[in-house]
Amino acid sequence: MKTGRAIGLPLSIVLATACGGGGAGATPVIAQSFCADALFPDPSTSPYVLPYPPNVSYTMFQGNCSQLGGHRDTFAYDFSHGMGDPITASRAGTVIIVNDNFSDDDHIEGHENNVFVEHTDGTVVRYTHLMQDGAMVTVDQQVFQGDIVSLAGNSGNSSGPHLHFQVFRSRNFDKSNAIPVTFRNAIGTARTNGELIEGQVYQADSF
């Protein structure tokens, strides 16, 4: 098991609510000002790629500012990964937090397994609901874009296996510090600003 956390980041802060559901179906979206006023980066120049291997497809079933669960008033995507599916680094960086000790079956809020990776600009990506003992990286490890960081699971506040993907402006992991993200290798129907649409299937192109 690969566990650890960065100094100065209490685990209680790290293990905050993620989705409050997941695994199947789409959640209704309410257009809230927090998201409506957001500027999404141009996908063609985005530093992020989809968090799964090329030629693989998943449904993005819960997106930004969903009415329900942990996506309310925050930027985050849920992908329909199955148990044990590989999760890959969306962007190169340094692993700052790993916890993978929680069961995939207790569905307790705060028991989400996570990998957090910090990028050179100070942003941090959170890969959440990971499989117990599924982390493939350790704290302080350097990862390259496309490296496998973990296996998908069903840990914590989740009703089915999936990946919760969220990027923060800094090491402040409050949901208000999350930022809008686009992916330069997403094949599928997106909004004109590059935002992924709930219920749509996205294939990862090569990069």
Give the pLDDT confidence of 125-172 residue by residue, as tens digits.
999 999 999 999 999 999 999 999 999 999 999 989 999 999 999 999
Q: With 50 as the cut, is the pLDDT of residue 27 above it?
A: no
Contact 156, 108 (CB under 8 A): yes
Sheet of 130-135: strand order equals 86-88, 148-152, 130-135
Q: pLDDT by residue (tens digit) across 64-116? A: 988 766 788 899 999 999 999 999 999 999 999 999 999 999 999 999 999 99
How high is the pLDDT of residue 28? 41
Enter the pTM of the model: 0.87
- Sequence-ordered alpha helix ranges (H) in 76-180: none
- Classify 4-204 by CATH class: mainly beta
